[in-house]
Amino acid sequence: MTKPGRALPVGGAFLLTDILQNLPAPQVSERRDPHPSRMQMPQGNPLLLSYTLQELLARDTVQVELIPEKKGLFLKHVEYEVSSQRFRSSVYRRYNDFVVFHEMLLQKFPYRMVPALPPKRVLGADREFIEARRRALRRFINLVARHPPFSEDVALRLFLSFSGPDVQNKLKESAQCVGDEFMSCKLAPRAKDFLPADIQTQFAVSRELIRNIYNSFHKLRDRAERIASRAIDNAADLLIFGKELSALGSDTTPLPSWATLHSSTWGSLKQALKGLSVEFALLADKAAQQGKQEENDVVEKLNLFLDLLQSYKDLCERHEKGVLHKHQRALHKYSLMKRQMMSAAVQSREPDSVEQLESRIVEQENAIQTMELRGYFSLYCLHQEMQLVHVYLPLTSHILGAFVNSQIQGHKEMSKVWNDLKPKLNCLFAGPSGSPTPPRLPQDGVSPR
pLDDT in tens, 394-409: 999 999 999 999 999 9
Residue count of the chain:
449
**pLDDT > 50? residue 22:** no
**180 with 258, same domain?**
no
| Domain, as residue range, for 140 | 53-186
**pLDDT > 60? residue 75:** no
- Are 422 and 313 in contact, with CB atoms under 8 Å apart? no
- The predicted pLDDT at position 364 comes to 64
Residue 152 forms part of a structural domain: yes
- The predicted pLDDT at position 231 comes to 96
SS3 content of the chain, % helix, strand, coil (to 5): 65, 5, 25
> What whole-number percentage of the chain has pLDDT above 70?
71
> What whole-number percentage of the chain has pLDDT above 90?
50
Residue 353 forms part of a structural domain: yes
What is the rounded average pLDDT for all residues in the chain? 81
165 vs 142, higher pLDDT: 142
| Cβ neighbours, 10 Å, residue 27 | 13
Beta strands per DSSP E along 210-260: none
**pLDDT > 80? residue 353:** no
- The predicted pLDDT at position 336 comes to 64
> Average of pLDDT values for 347-375?
70
Confidence tier at 288 by pLDDT (50, 70, 90): very high
| Domain total of the chain | 2
Q: In what order do the strands lie in the sheet with 89-94?
A: 62-71, 76-84, 89-94
**304 with 406, same domain?**
yes
- Are 307 and 147 in contact, with CB atoms under 8 Å apart? no
Using CB atoms within 10 Å of the CB of residue 402, give its burial: 0 to 12 exposed, 13 to 18 middle, 19+ buried. middle
150 vs 347, higher pLDDT: 150
**160 with 302, same domain?**
no
**173 with 234, same domain?**
no
Question: If we measure between CA atoms, which residue out of 15, 40, 180, 159 comes closest to residue 91?
Answer: 159
> Average of pLDDT values for 35-57?
69
Q: List CB contacts of 244: < 8 A, sequence separation 6 or more.
A: none
Strand partners, 76: 71
Alpha carbon distance 406, 326 (integer Å): 51
Secondary structure of residue 78 in the 3-state scheme: strand
The CATH number given to whatever domain includes residue 246 is 1.20.1270
Alpha carbon distance 244, 280 (integer Å): 10
Residue 217 forms part of a structural domain: no
Residue 15 forms part of a structural domain: no
CA 86 from centre of chain: 21
Residue 350 forms part of a structural domain: yes
Identify the domain boundary among 186, 219, 239.
186
**307 with 158, same domain?**
no
> Average of pLDDT values for 36-65?
78
The CATH number given to whatever domain includes residue 158 is 3.30.1520.10
Residue 200 forms part of a structural domain: no
- The predicted pLDDT at position 20 comes to 33
* 414-433 per-position pLDDT tens digit: 999 999 888 887 766 655 55
Q: How many CA atoms lie within 13 A of 153 on its CB side?
A: 27
**286 with 410, same domain?**
yes
**300 with 360, same domain?**
yes
**245 with 115, same domain?**
no
**168 with 278, same domain?**
no
